[in-house]
Amino acid sequence: MKPHGTEVHRALEAATGEAIGTAALADEYDIDLAVRAARKALDEGPWGRTTPTERAAVMRRFAAALTARASEASTLVSRENGMPIGLSEAFNGGAPAGLLEMYAAMVDGTDIESVRPAALGATIVRREPVGVVAAITPWNYPLALAMSKIAPALAMGCTVVLKPSPDTALDSYILADAADEAGLPAGVLNIVLAGRETGAALVSHPGVDKVAFTGSTAAGRIIGAECGRLIRRCTLELGGKSASIFLEDGDIDVFRAGLASSAFQNNSQTCATQARILAPRSRYDEVVDAVATYAAELVVGNPLDPAVTCGPMASERHLERVLGYIEAGRTSDARLVTGGGRPSSAGDRGWYVEPTVFADVDNKNVIAREEIFGPVIAVMPYDGEDDAIANDSNYGLAGSVWTADEDRGIEIARRVRTGTFGVNYYSTDLMAPFGGMKDSGIGREFGPEALENYTEYKSVYVSADRLPN
Ligand code: NAD
């Protein structure tokens, strides 16, 4: 439907900077319409009265419609945000349909009520939908992150207003088409493309029951504060500055092979990027050399070329931000080992940056403390393992340890305060809870645990006659 808002967003291709489409942006009036539609579908419409099995059937049709568009969606997102095409096929092509299938299977055939004995009779415990969900997502894995909220929300019987980032505006049209083809009832999924000011109106709209936010810690603080004021449920999936800890007995080849996903996945535009690499002094030079040669050998170029392992940054603004951090590193005491600017081959088209490695970085340095969200890695020596494990960072999203002794690795995993942690590899498992400690957020997405985000419990006290025989 045509929005009331008159602002038009020009979508630019990350690899060329050229226009690839336009998207009409919503204004506060459109947000209000979307929330009202979601409210109506929940309170009056069919969705609020569906059984989990009926919802699972709709979700499976939605998954099939997305699968039919998987190739189109993955190509488009690669053009929008620079994600290498193979990765985009997994996260924007396969994952959204996979998540719908997964949550449909979890609720299909389940009962929303259970009865348990109580002191004076029995209690019926009901799992009810949390209500209208405002889902606010970033540009780095747009369709997978949208679906990490939509799929468990629909499974629990919620309705959704999705506000994607304008930096990846165009792929949401594919999502909307698929939902339409699958026959989602009107008002169940509403997509409003808007910037942060209009997004703020969604967060505080009186018709919203829960905010599911993924994005920066700075925005998360504002959104969390508003939700606190309104006593509105919220989950916050925020930024990170995670560390890989290489131990004395680590296998350098295993570590090197793991860098693709631990440090450089999606041109390091990944919240779980381990942009701090901690190595013992006895192995320090070897680790610096492994990271630097790996970074220098990454193939920087157009993300649609399957041979490319590092695409451009998602926007010119983001490129400037990443280059600003590189400059901060260059003017500090840190030692630039490889990279350090724009690749000469890039010319002036596309938002490319050289994969960059700094060694001897002081942990107080801004490039060790702040999330850069681009291929800029800091390698730091440590003296005692306890220092490395203490993980002196405001964030607590991800991390990994590299050791010949997996038992020791698991022991370290138990001690580090992060939401996810890898032993000799790092790979997000969509079947398990994912999220952050400390400044990396509140709550977990993915896995069966995510259903809790969209559930309200109600206890109904009744007579003992209700107890099953
Ligand atoms: P961002 O915070 O700038 O924006 C994220 C989304 O929130 C966008 O849709 C934006 O328009 C909206 N927004 C921003 N301020 C808002 C406000 N006050 N009210 C309502 N909406 C608002 O983040 P970004 O640059 O799009 O994404 C990168 C960030 O996302 C990084 O910090 C990254 O670590 C984080 N991220 C976290 C996870 C996770 O699971 N923890 C996953 C992916 C990305």
What angle, rounded to 10 degrees, do the helices at 52-68 and 171-182 form? 130
**Residue 234 known to be catalytic:** no
**Which of 273, 13, 37 lies closest to 160, judged by CA?**
37
Confidence check: pLDDT of 345 > 80? no
As annotated, the residues of the chain forming the CATH 3.40.605.10 domain(s) are 8-238+440-462
Average pLDDT over residues 187-211: 97
- Name every residue whose Cβ is closer than 8 Å to that of residue 162 and which is 6 or more positions away in sequence: 135, 137, 146, 149, 150, 172, 175, 189, 190, 191, 192
Tell me how far apart the alpha carbons of residues 355 and 414 are, in angstroms, rounded to a whole number. Answer: 31
Within 13 A of 177's CA, how many CA atoms are on the CB side? Answer: 13
Which residue has the least CA distance to atom 13 on ligand 1?
A: 196
Instruction: Check whether 431 has a pLDDT greater than 70.
Output: yes
Q: Which of 227, 234, 271, 310 is catalytic?
A: 271
What is the rounded CA–CA span in Å between residue 468 and residue 464? 9
The boundaries of every CATH 3.40.309.10 domain in the chain are: 243-429
Question: 101, 237, 354, 371: which one is catalytic?
Answer: 237
Alpha helices in 383-464 (DSSP H): 385-390, 406-415
> How close is the Cα of 270 to the center of ligand 1, in Å?
12
Over the stretch 250-302, which tens digit does the pLDDT of each residue have? 999 999 999 999 999 999 999 999 999 999 999 999 999 999 999 999 999 99
Reading phi first (left if > 0) and then psi (alpha if -120 to 50, else beta), residue 310 is in beta
CA angle (91 as vertex; 89, 95 as ends), nearest 5: 105
Ligand 1 centre to CA of 216 (Å) is 4
> Per-residue pLDDT averaged across 81-104, rounded?
98
Q: Which two structure tokens, joined as six digits, stand for 306?
A: 């399957």
DSSP labels, 170-239: THHHHHHHHHHHHTPPTTSEEE----HHHHHHHHT-TT--EEEEES-HHHHHHHHHHHHHHT-EEEEE--
Pairing status of strand 395-396 against strand 243-246: unpaired
Alpha carbon 221 to its chain centroid, in Å, reads: 17
- Phi and psi at residue 23, in whole multiples of 5°? -140, 135
- Rounded mean pLDDT of the chain? 97
Q: What percent of the chain has pLDDT over 70?
A: 100
How far, in Å, from the CA of 138 to the mean position of ligand 1?
A: 5
Which element (helix H / strand E) includes 143?
helix 142-155
Q: How far is the CA of 285 from the centre of ligand 1 (A)?
A: 36
DSSP 465: G
- Please list the residues that pair with 236 across neighbouring strands: 213, 442
Beta strands 113-118; 121-129: pairing state: antiparallel
Rounded Cα distance, 424 and 422, in Å: 6
Which of 94-108, 141-155, 311-325, 381-395 is predicted with the least confidence, judged by mean pLDDT?
381-395
CA distances from 19 to 13, 350, 447 (A): 6, 12, 37
Query: Phi, psi (5° rounding) for residue 138?
Result: -95, -175
Q: Which helix (H) or strand (E) holds 118?
A: strand 113-118
Q: pLDDT digit string (tens) for 351-390? A: 999 999 999 999 999 999 999 999 999 999 999 888 888 8
- Into which CATH architecture does domain 243-429 fall? 3-Layer(aba) Sandwich (3.40)
Q: Which residues line ligand 1 (CB under 6 A)?
A: 136-140, 145, 163-165, 195-196, 199-200, 203, 214-216, 219, 222-223, 237-240, 271, 371, 373, 397, 436, 441
The answer to whether residue 329 scores a pLDDT higher than 70 is yes
**Residue 237 annotated to the active site:** yes
What mean pLDDT comes out for the span 80-107? 98
* CATH number of this structure's domain 8-238+440-462, picked from the four choices 3.40.640.10, 3.40.430.10, 3.40.605.10, 3.40.190.10: 3.40.605.10
Is residue 347 pLDDT above 80, yes or no?
A: no
Averaged pLDDT, 142-149: 98
